[in-house]
Amino acid sequence: MTVRFSAPTLTTDRLTLRPPHLSDFDALAAFYAAPRSHFVGGPQTPELAWRTLAQEAGHWILRGFGRWTVVETATQTPVGTVGLWHPEGFPERELGWDLFDGATGKGYATEAAIAARHHAYATLGWTTLISLVADGNDASARVAKRLHATRDGDFTHERYGPMQVWRHPGPEALT
């Protein structure tokens, strides 16, 4: 007997947000091998990148929500990992965005994050959401600003170090 857990797929104008697949491994391992990943716990060996990908899938099963692999719909190329994340060690539920190399500068993080945030509020019924931005990750802070999140203190993660807490507008402010 095999049990299935159903994770939703979301679509935007240019992007498809789907559950993580085994086939995402090469793209994720490449992201975590590159220096850009130092804001989110990288660089990581392929062993740890595997653990990260499997953890993304396990997060869905254990918590009932998680992060999607974001695919550029026209090309079916994975461009990043965006979604609702609450691993142990985080202060509360987070909206996170990691874009792979070559996918930045196109507004993809903002576009995917808006869809994920809408899912959190409209489908899951959440009333608040933060994003954690590592100190110095200015590109990520700009995404937070574009999403109209505002600074709400600081948090020191046991691994990622000092992080800015950005709090998103609640569902009532977005309707």
Partner 1 sequence: MTTAPVISGTQLRLRPHVLSDMDAFGAFYQSDRAQYVTKPDGPTHLWYGFASEVGSWALTGMGSWAIEVGGQLAGQISVTHPPHFPETELGWILLDTFEGRGIAFEAATLAIAYTRDTIRPASLVSYIDAHNTRSIALAKRLGATLDATADRCDDADVVYRHNVGETA
Residues that bind partner 1 (CB under 8 A): 1-7, 19-22, 25, 46-47, 50-63, 87-89, 157-159
Beta carbons of 87 and 96 less than 8 angstroms apart: no
Q: Which is nearer to partner 1, 56 or 149 (CB)?
A: 56
Q: At closest approach, how far in Å is the CB of 8 from partner 1?
A: 11
Residue 7 or 147: the one with the smaller Cβ distance to partner 1 is 7
* Minimum CB distance to partner 1, residue 82 (Å): 17
What CA–CA distances, in Å, run from 124 to 77, 120, 128? 28, 5, 11
Q: Which pair of tokens denotes residue 55?
A: 């953890």
CB atoms under 10 Å from CB of 18, counted, come to 17
Nearer to partner 1, 56 or 98 (CB): 56
Phi, psi (deg, nearest 5) at residue 81: -125, 120
The number of angstroms, rounded, from the C-alpha of 32 to the middle of its chain's C-alpha atoms is 14
Cβ 36 to partner 1, closest distance in Å?
20
Residue type, 51: R
Q: Please, which residue, 46 or 169, has the CB nearer to partner 1?
A: 46
Minimum Å distance from CB 89 to partner 1?
Answer: 4
